[in-house]
């Protein structure tokens, strides 16, 4: 189930589903550990007139949005059968690890009633049920879930005081469905403590006249000790939960509006999505540097793992988005993470956990009896490219000097040496789509761009020998690309080639959008090169889905998450925005931006109401598919908008369109 809201502060990340129920609760790292796990649920329900409807009941009409320019979710849930409307304001406090919900309950009937609001909690602490405990603390009138150094304190306030009812229990074991069943008669049994797979429910009882509203505040404090959790609870009671929600709203609104972009020619909805995208990737950025690919744990329900890792590729592109938007702090922490993660030999591995340890992988260390590095070399290259962009924007020379020897030089030396002796292209590695092993046009393009960036760093720091080595290697790679990777007969750059032991070259001539994008995005060919124009024509003829939904597939014959025929593959947000970036670079006058506006509008159309972008779109229904949200999709939207503003400024169409614009 796609996530509708992602709320966080760099230490915790809370995601809700389309029924406004918490499905992911990450702590103490963004992306690690998930204490709800996606397969369990923190339910919300209402009991009135002898009926209980949890939010998964179809009687609820639920609409989830976001507050303007801020990390506060705004949800309306209306139940005509019960005659009740709830309005939620949800957030994670920016200063401390507290998830808060303000809920206004309205009695829509023509008579006075007692409306009971229940919150159910199914925790899987440390992603394991072993040793969990939940109990009612009568001294502080709170529910506490704990296991070792992971503690979750649940509390709330109404006009009468704390919550009115509670229970703890077990779930999914010994024939027990869970304590949410205890609420079906409108009263909880007040069980004081349970261990094992333990859950809890708290209830608020509101006496409301016809048409009257009542408000409650509810929160979960996350900590590494019960003492710390109780201190967070005391802080919330002292400062007042409504105040914490308001100040969090104000903080994020100030953060996302730091710079006065003109947004010339964009609609209000497109501008809103830009800001929502910035906030979305910020929630996925851990304060220790990792930038998560996606917090959508539902991927685990259909596969072996989630997207809750830091891929250096995705992280680099998100860091680039932060830098272009003027937030250098998050990007800097990312580069420091990579500075620690890079191997002694100068490459980054497949993916990492938020704590810096190595993530799971399916890339083997041997192929056909030969040792092969299990890497996607574009991930190493893109970090160096993004780091150069960081310097161009920030002009922070001291930071560059801090990471040059360990990160830049080590990676550049690796890329210079890790080349095929016959073609002088980078050796084979796995592609950016993580599917095929070979020498890929996209990867080669990124290595070229990274070596150019490394030569600029070397020149900046007066390292003339390194500058010469890196620029020479980049020149050789570019020449080899034009020799080996361009298919004149088709007018495209090939997806990949492989070199056999006897020196034979075998080609995969599949049309892949990444091959075309990489060539101009990383400077291999000028955007005006006729070879590029011819290749883009092939993309528009063969990769744009010929359905009402439209959009650009990754490559011909892409079957990942594909469930329909008659298409080259599902359209992706990323690849569709790459096509928009081509037209941005090509534009000479305002009329030339028409395709750009077309694809920005397409992206907006396929965002959720709360501004969430998925990885893929169903080619016939427009349904969001795969990881939702995907930070890469949001990062591409941000950088597309800023590149559009930069081009407007370069052409003199909108002066000062981007106050942060810097020429390289």
Model pLDDT for residues 490-542, shown as the tens digit of each residue: 999 999 999 988 889 999 999 999 999 999 999 999 999 999 999 999 999 99
Across residues 584-596, what is the average pLDDT? 98
Instruction: Say if residue 172's pLDDT is above 60.
Output: yes
Q: What is the pLDDT of residue 130?
A: 83
Instruction: Say if residue 129's pLDDT is above 80.
Output: no
Which structure tokens are listed for 6? 């992602």
The predicted-structure confidence for 571-581, as pLDDT tens digits, reads as follows 999 999 999 99
Q: What is the pLDDT of residue 538?
A: 96
Across residues 290-317, what is the average pLDDT? 83
**pTM of structure:** 0.95
Instruction: Say if residue 171's pLDDT is above 60.
Output: yes
Across residues 467-480, what is the average pLDDT? 98
Q: Band of the pLDDT at 301, cuts 50, 70, 90?
A: very low
Across residues 173-181, what is the average pLDDT? 91
Q: What is the pLDDT of residue 501?
A: 84
Q: Band of the pLDDT at 445, cuts 50, 70, 90?
A: very high
- Regarding predicted confidence, which is higher, 368 or 312? 312
Proportion of the chain above pLDDT 70, given as a percent: 99
- Regarding predicted confidence, which is higher, 128 or 200? 200
Q: What is the pLDDT of residue 306?
A: 85
Query: 210-238: b or e for each residue (b if 16 or more CB lie within 10 Å)?
Result: eeeebebbbbbbbbeeeebbbebbeebee
128: number of Cβ within 10 Å = 12
**What is the chain's mean pLDDT, rounded?**
96
Q: What is the pLDDT of residue 141?
A: 98
In 3D space, the residue among 456, 470, 445 whose CA is nearest the CA of residue 381 turns out to be 445
CATH number of the domain located at residue range(s) 310-532 in this protein: 1.50.10.10
Q: What is the pLDDT of residue 39?
A: 84
Please enumerate in sequence order all residues whose Cβ is within 8 A of that of 557, keeping only pairs 6 or more positions apart, or say none. Answer: 510, 568, 569
The predicted-structure confidence for 307-354, as pLDDT tens digits, reads as follows 899 999 999 999 999 999 999 999 999 999 999 999 999 999 999 999
Please enumerate in sequence order all residues whose Cβ is within 8 A of that of 18, keeping only pairs 6 or more positions apart, or say none. Answer: 1, 2, 4, 62, 64
Q: Band of the pLDDT at 357, cuts 50, 70, 90?
A: very high
Q: What is the pLDDT of residue 300?
A: 47
Q: What residue ranges do the domains of the chain occupy? A: 3-235, 253-283+543-664, 310-532
Phi first, then psi, for residue 132 (nearest 5°) are -70, 145
Instruction: Say if residue 113's pLDDT is above 80.
Output: yes
Measured CA to CA, the distance from residue 346 to residue 324 in angstroms comes to: 26
3-class SS of residue 47:
strand
Across residues 38-52, what is the average pLDDT? 94
Q: What is the pLDDT of residue 304?
A: 63
Across residues 172-176, what is the average pLDDT? 87
The predicted-structure confidence for 232-285, as pLDDT tens digits, reads as follows 999 999 999 999 999 999 999 999 999 989 999 999 999 999 999 999 999 999
Instruction: Say if residue 299's pLDDT is above 90.
Output: no
DSSP annotation string for 147-163: ETTEEEEEEEEBTTBS-
Measured CA to CA, the distance from residue 153 to residue 222 in angstroms comes to: 7
Q: What is the pLDDT of residue 298?
A: 65
| CATH assignment of 3-235, among 2.70.98.10, 2.30.40.10, 3.90.1150.10, 3.30.365.10 | 2.70.98.10
Proportion of the chain above pLDDT 90, given as a percent: 92
Burial of 504 (0-12, 13-18, 19+ CB in 10 A): exposed
Instruction: Say if residue 92's pLDDT is above 60.
Output: yes
Q: What is the pLDDT of residue 503?
A: 86
- What length is written for the chain? 664
């Amino acid at each position: 189930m796609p996530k509708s809201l992602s709320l966080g502060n760099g230490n915790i990340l809370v995601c809700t589903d389309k029924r406004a129920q918490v499905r992911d609760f990450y702590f103490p790292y963004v992306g690690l550990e998930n204490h709800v796990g996606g397969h369990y649920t923190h339910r919300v329900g209402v009991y009135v007139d002898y009926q209980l409807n949890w939010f998964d009941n179809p009687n609820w009409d639920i609409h989830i949005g976001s507050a303007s320019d801020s990390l506060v979710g705004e949800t309306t849930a209306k139940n005509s059968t019960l005659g009740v409307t709830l309005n939620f304001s949800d957030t994670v406090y920016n200063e401390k690890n507290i998830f808060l919900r303000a809920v206004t309950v309205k009695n829509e009937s023509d008579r006075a009633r007692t409306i009971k609001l229940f919150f159910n909690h199914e925790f899987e602490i440390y992603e394991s049920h072993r040793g969990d405990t939940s109990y009612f603390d009568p001294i502080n009138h709170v529910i506490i879930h704990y296991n070792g150094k992971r503690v979750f304190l649940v509390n709330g306030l109404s006009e009468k005081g704390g919550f009115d009812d509670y229970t703890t229990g077990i779930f999914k074991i010994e024939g027990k469905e869970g304590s949410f069943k205890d609420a079906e008669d409108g009263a909880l049994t007040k069980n004081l403590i349970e261990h094992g797979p333990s859950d809890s429910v708290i209830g608020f009882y509101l006496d409301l006249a016809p048409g009257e509203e009542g408000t409650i505040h509810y929160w979960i404090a996350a900590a590494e000790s019960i003492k710390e959790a109780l201190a967070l609870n005391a802080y919330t009671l002292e400062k007042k939960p409504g105040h914490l929600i308001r100040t969090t709203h104000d903080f994020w609104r100030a953060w996302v509006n730091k710079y006065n972009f003109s947004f010339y020619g964009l609609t209000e909805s497109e501008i809103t999505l830009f800001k929502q995208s910035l906030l979305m990737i910020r929630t996925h950025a851990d304060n220790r540097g990792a930038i998560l690919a996606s917090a959508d744990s539902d991927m685990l329900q259909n596969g072996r793992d989630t997207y809750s890792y830091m891929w250096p590729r995705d992280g680099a592109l998100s860091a680039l988005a932060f830098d272009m938007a003027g937030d250098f702090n998050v990007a800097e922490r990312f580069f420091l993470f990579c500075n620690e993660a890079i191997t002694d030999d100068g490459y980054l591995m497949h993916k990492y956990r938020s704590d810096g340890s190595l993530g799971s992988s399916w890339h083997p260390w041997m192929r056909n009896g030969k040792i092969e590095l299990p890497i996607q070399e574009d991930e190493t290259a893109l970090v160096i490219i993004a780091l150069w962009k960081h310097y161009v924007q920030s002009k922070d020379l001291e930071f560059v000097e801090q990471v040059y020897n360990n990160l830049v030089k080590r990676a550049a030396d690796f890329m210079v040496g890790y080349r095929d002796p016959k073609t002088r292209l980078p050796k084979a590695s796995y592609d950016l789509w993580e599917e095929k092993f070979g020498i890929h046009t996209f990867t080669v393009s990124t290595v070229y761009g990274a070596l150019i960036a490394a030569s600029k760093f070397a020149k900046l720091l007066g390292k003339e020998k390194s500058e010469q080595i890196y620029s020479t290697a980049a020149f050789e790679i570019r020449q080899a690309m034009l020799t080996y990777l361009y298919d004149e007969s088709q007018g495209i750059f090939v997806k990949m080639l492989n070199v056999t032991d006897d020196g034979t070259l075998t080609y995969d001539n599949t049309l892949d959008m990444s091959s075309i994008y990489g060539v101009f995005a990383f400077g291999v060919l000028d955007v005006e090169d006729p070879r590029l124009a011819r290749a883009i024509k092939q993309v528009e003829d063969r990769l744009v889905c010929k359905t009402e939904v439209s959009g650009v597939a990754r490559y011909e014959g892409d079957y990942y998450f594909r469930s329909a025929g008659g298409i080259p593959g599902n359209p992706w947000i990323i690849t569709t925005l790459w096509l928009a970036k081509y037209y941005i670079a090509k534009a000479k006058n305002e009329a030339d931006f028409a395709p750009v506006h077309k694809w920005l509008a397409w992206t907006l159309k396929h965002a959720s109401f709360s501004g969430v972008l998925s990885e893929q779109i169903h080619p016939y229904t427009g349904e969001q598919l795969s990881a939702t949200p995907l930070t890469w999709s949001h990062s591409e939207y941000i950088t597309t908008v800023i590149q559009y503003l930069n081009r407007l400024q370069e052409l003199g169409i909108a002066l000062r369109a981007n106050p942060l614009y810097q020429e390289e």
